[in-house]
Chains A and B, each alone.
Chain A
Amino acid sequence: MTFLKIKNLVFLLAIPIGFGLATWFGLNAESYSKPSRFVRFHYHISPETLFFPTFSMMENLAISRWKPGKTIVIIAGNSILNGYGQNETDLWSLRLQDELGERYAVVNLSFRGALPFEGGMLVAESLQRRGLPVVLVTNTSPGTVGRVAGETYGYLYYDALYKQRLHSHPARSANILEWEETASKTVREQQAELRRGSLLDSWFHFQGLWHHVAYRYFFTTWNQRTRLTFWKSRDKYIDDLPVAPGYEQRFQTDLSSELEITRGFSINLAEYEPRVGWKLLQPPMEIASDLIEDMTPKPIRARTIILLSQNAPIYRSKLTPSEQDRDEVVCKGYADLWRNFGFTCKIVGDDFDNQDFYDRSHLSATGGRKLAHLVADYVRQLTPP
């Protein structure tokens, strides 16, 4: 064999070896990689800046806080539980940890704009499958259930699914496939690409490696929010989510549009019948029931606290008495629906003051403390010593 042939052979052999080494590093990274000093997913470690925390990263965050004898409290849900409006040190989930004490490990895995079962629930499910004691706390508004896939954080479902971290729950995948069949061509293509990506990732672990590199060493993709410093590793960024200003500067947004959203919480979920009063509409109840049944495996239900988050009183008090009655009927009706499926469900914010809110839905530091106090009670009730 000539030297030229040997050189070319060595070169060709080195390519798959390089790829294999990267895959091996990726597989390793999946077992330990996680944001350090983690409190919550802020802008720079979330999809708002093209950083898509992997399922294993979220799982590592939870497992790293667990010790035998402790119960892991996973917080999922949306921006309200993400503490949008509270600074990092005042975050409600830190107060929850203070209230619960050593016996519990609280991990806030909520994301802004997430549906109740996106992301965090899947981590809770995976931990439960491993036999770890876990409680899931998540939130939504009455009538909103949503799927685990199909929205911004749906990639976590496929990530967990292809890495075989979830309970077997055929109704869930059947529901998602059925929904996809009725979705637009663009949505179907997006979902197919997500699945392809997650399948390949389960073989080659590229998300694990390159997200670890992005967090620890350097980021490679420009985006609007990080702009000229886009290359900086994500561990260099601080949590700069908005914090509630002084009370007199809050609630400045357009009143009519806020009222519209407040009414929207229940307007399509109940109808008025003379002499009977407000009555829940059946079609939305049935849709919610089907989604709850299909999206949540039975074992996780008994360990889940669903919080139905109320709007700030400044807006609720401006609804007509009839609209307020409708709100109450809808909240109670949907809380009962969740309970019928075996969940613990509580309505929160009903008795909070305006001071406790940053805006119509998000909580200030004082609201966060009240929420932590309530949730600590619910968690203790679910996990008697």
Chain B
Amino acid sequence: MNSSRLRQSGALALRVLLGLAIGVFAHYLLYRLFLPVQPFIYVAF
């Protein structure tokens, strides 16, 4: 009984962590999406 509860809690915690990670990753993707592909090239003249 106890080990089954423990497994269920573990599975729930894993889902929470996975969900949080996906949410944070989506936030990071927004940053990457708006990052220019090429850096600015400065030529001194």
Contact = CB atoms under 8 A, between A and B. Distances in A.
Partners in one complex: yes
Interface of A: 3, 6-8, 10-23, 26, 46-50, 52, 79, 84, 112-113, 152, 193, 196-197, 200-201, 204, 206-207, 209-210, 220-221, 223-225, 242, 261, 359-362
Nearest to B21: A18
Given A50-B36, A204-B27, A221-B32, A12 B19 contact: yes
Contacts of B26: 15, 18-19
A130 B25 CA distance: 35
A253 to B, nearest CB: 9
Contacts of A193: 34
Contacts of A84: 44
Interface in B1-45: 8, 11-12, 15-24, 26-28, 30-36, 39-42, 44-45
A21 B23 contact: yes
Given A48-B41, A206-B30, A362-B44, A15 B19 contact: yes
B11 to A, nearest CB: 6
A21 B24 contact: yes
A8 B12 CA distance: 9
A79 B39 contact: no
A210 B28 CA distance: 7
Given A6-B12, A221-B35, 19 more contacts: A7-B15, A14-B20, A14-B23, A15-B19, A15-B20, A17-B19, A17-B20, A17-B23, A19-B26, A23-B27, A46-B40, A49-B39, A50-B36, A52-B35, A79-B42, A201-B34, A206-B28, A220-B28, A261-B45
**Top 6 closest pairs, chain A to chain B, by CB:** A18-B23, A14-B19, A197-B34, A18-B20, A22-B27, A19-B23
Nearest to B15: A11
17 contacts: A7-B11, A13-B19, A14-B16, A17-B19, A18-B23, A18-B26, A19-B27, A20-B23, A47-B40, A50-B35, A193-B34, A196-B34, A197-B34, A207-B34, A209-B31, A210-B31, A221-B32
B12 to A, nearest CB: 6
Given A14-B18, A18-B19, A359-B44, A204 B39 contact: no
A323 B18 CA distance: 69
B20 A113 contact: no
Nearest to A113: B42
Q: Which of B20, B26, B34, B39: most chain A CB closer than 10 A?
A: B39
A11 B18 contact: yes
A47 B23 contact: no
